[in-house]
């Protein structure tokens, strides 16, 4: 099946690097690019249906022109790129696109100043993660060059990894010079025998394709220990499972998302 990157564009300062990163990755993974933009139609409350449709069409035409202009400036002519512009809700648009015969990754930018540190990724990224049954790539604004040298996969017991989705993601990754660490953040005095076995099984499962290892960060020093390993460098990728404690627990969420992803330069992959 063909591979495709669906890139959500809002024409903010984040859009340029989001496209650059996807292009850099896409050239290596041999994918098609699809730039998606949701327009906001501003029409008076009493506008009739025909007039509203005309306003919507004009708004969409302007956005499409801007989208193509951005693509022309940033995407090499050798890459296949298409466009989707609509006033329809993003959830509806994505559901239709995901019905098409592609293996997709959805790219969304992580925005943020101030309030972001309290609300995690921002409303659009959260909405896409919550409503979409697909792999999401959430990107901090400061990174524009793709690298896959070190991949860290967060593992939990309550929400086992979606191995089909993880394997699909790995199909977008070249095996050469790629190190994958499966890790678990343990609470103080937590028994970790079962999770250790699970981590070992995961390392064995993917050992034929990548250099694999595992780690357990235990007790009160867990966050400090993992900080020494994941260094906010552009050659790192962090993978988490949707619904896991790492996305819902306030302590871990604050650390992993804000410090590793937003304040650092670590792309975040969320498995469905």
3-state SS, residue 84:
strand
Domain endpoint, select from 110, 139, 168:
139
At 137 the pLDDT is: 94
Place of tokens 């995901």: 98
Number of domains making up the chain? 2
Instruction: Please indicate, yes or no, whether residues 245 and 169 belong to a single structural domain of this protein.
Output: yes
Domain endpoint, select from 139, 160, 186:
139
Per-residue pLDDT tens for 165-185? 999 999 999 878 899 999 998
33-47, 85-99, 175-189, 210-224, range with greatest mean pLDDT: 85-99
Instruction: Please indicate, yes or no, whether residues 261 and 236 belong to a single structural domain of this protein.
Output: yes
At 111 the pLDDT is: 66
Residue 255 pLDDT class (50, 70, 90 cuts):
low
Instruction: Please indicate, yes or no, whether residues 48 and 92 belong to a single structural domain of this protein.
Output: yes
Domain endpoint, select from 111, 139, 167:
139
Q: For residue 81, tell me if it sits in a domain.
A: yes
How far apart (Å, rounded) are the C-alpha atoms in residues 203 and 211?
Answer: 9
Q: For residue 45, tell me if it sits in a domain.
A: yes
Instruction: Please indicate, yes or no, whether residues 209 and 128 belong to a single structural domain of this protein.
Output: no
At 234 the pLDDT is: 65
Strands 136-140 and 150-154 come out as unpaired
How far apart (Å, rounded) are the C-alpha atoms in residues 32 and 19?
Answer: 12
Instruction: Please indicate, yes or no, whether residues 126 and 168 belong to a single structural domain of this protein.
Output: no
Q: For residue 224, tell me if it sits in a domain.
A: yes
Burial class, 16, CB count within 10 angstroms (exposed 0-12 / middle 13-18 / buried 19+): middle
At 261 the pLDDT is: 65
Which among 54, 11, 5, 268 has a CA at the least distance from the CA of 143? 268
How far apart (Å, rounded) are the C-alpha atoms in residues 22 and 101?
Answer: 20
Residue 41 pLDDT class (50, 70, 90 cuts):
confident
Q: For residue 83, tell me if it sits in a domain.
A: yes
- Contact between 37 and 71 under an 8 Å Cβ cutoff? The reply is no
Instruction: Please indicate, yes or no, whether residues 12 and 135 belong to a single structural domain of this protein.
Output: yes
How far apart (Å, rounded) are the C-alpha atoms in residues 56 and 73?
Answer: 26
pLDDT at 199 over 70: yes
Instruction: Please indicate, yes or no, whether residues 12 and 133 belong to a single structural domain of this protein.
Output: yes
Can you tell me the mean pLDDT for 127-133? 85
pLDDT at 114 over 60: no
Instruction: Please indicate, yes or no, whether residues 135 and 154 belong to a single structural domain of this protein.
Output: no
Expressed as residue numbers, the domain containing 235 is 150-270
Can you tell me the mean pLDDT for 80-93? 93
Per-residue pLDDT tens for 2-28? 999 999 998 888 899 999 999 999 999
Instruction: Please indicate, yes or no, whether residues 219 and 241 belong to a single structural domain of this protein.
Output: yes
Q: Mark out the alpha helices in the chain (DSSP H runs).
A: 15-29, 49-74, 90-97, 116-119, 123-131, 163-170, 193-205, 222-229, 245-248, 250-253
Name the pTM for this structure: 0.89
Q: How many CA atoms lie within 13 A of 203 on its CB side?
A: 16
Q: For residue 144, tell me if it sits in a domain.
A: no
Strands 102-110 and 136-140 come out as parallel
Instruction: Please indicate, yes or no, whether residues 156 and 67 belong to a single structural domain of this protein.
Output: no
- Contact between 62 and 32 under an 8 Å Cβ cutoff? The reply is no
Q: For residue 145, tell me if it sits in a domain.
A: no
> CATH number, domain at 215?
3.40.50.620
Q: For residue 20, tell me if it sits in a domain.
A: yes
Instruction: Please indicate, yes or no, whether residues 13 and 120 belong to a single structural domain of this protein.
Output: yes
Instruction: Please indicate, yes or no, whether residues 110 and 206 belong to a single structural domain of this protein.
Output: no
Q: Which of the pair, 62 or 260, is modelled with greater confidence?
A: 62
How far apart (Å, rounded) are the C-alpha atoms in residues 218 and 234?
Answer: 26
Strands across the sheet with 179-185, in order?
81-86, 32-38, 2-8, 102-110, 136-140, 268-271, 236-241, 150-154, 179-185, 211-217
Can you tell me the mean pLDDT for 227-238? 73
């Amino acid at each position: 099946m063909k591979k495709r990157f669906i890139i959500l564009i809002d024409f903010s300062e984040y859009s340029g690097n989001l496209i650059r990163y996807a292009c850099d990755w896409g050239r290596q993974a041999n994918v098609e690019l699809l730039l998606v933009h949701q327009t906001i139609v501003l029409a008076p409350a009493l506008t009739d249906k025909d007039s509203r449709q005309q306003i919507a069409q004009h708004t969409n035409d302007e956005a499409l022109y801007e989208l193509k202009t951005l693509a022309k400036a940033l995407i090499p002519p050798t890459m296949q790129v298409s466009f989707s512009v609509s006033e329809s809700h993003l959830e509806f648009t994505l559901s239709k696109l995901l019905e098409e015969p592609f293996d997709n990754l959805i790219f969304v930018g992580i925005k943020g100043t101030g309030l972001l540190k309290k609300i995690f990724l921002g409303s659009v990224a959260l909405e896409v993660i919550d409503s979409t049954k697909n792999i999401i790539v959430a990107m901090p604004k400061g990174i524009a060059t793709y690298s896959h040298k070190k991949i860290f996969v967060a593992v939990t017991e309550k929400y086992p990894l979606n191995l089909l989705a993880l394997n699909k993601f790995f199909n977008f990754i070249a095996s050469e010079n790629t190190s994958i660490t499966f890790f678990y953040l343990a609470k103080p005095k937590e028994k970790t025998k079962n999770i250790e076995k699970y981590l070992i099984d995961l390392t064995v499962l993917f050992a034929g394709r990548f250099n694999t290892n595992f780690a357990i960060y235990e007790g009160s020093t867990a966050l400090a220990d993992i900080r020494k390993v994941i260094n906010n460098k552009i050659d790192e990728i962090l993978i988490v499972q949707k619904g896991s404690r790492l996305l819902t627990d306030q302590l871990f969420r604050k650390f992993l998302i804000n410090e590793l992803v937003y304040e650092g330069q670590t792309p975040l992959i969320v498995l469905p």
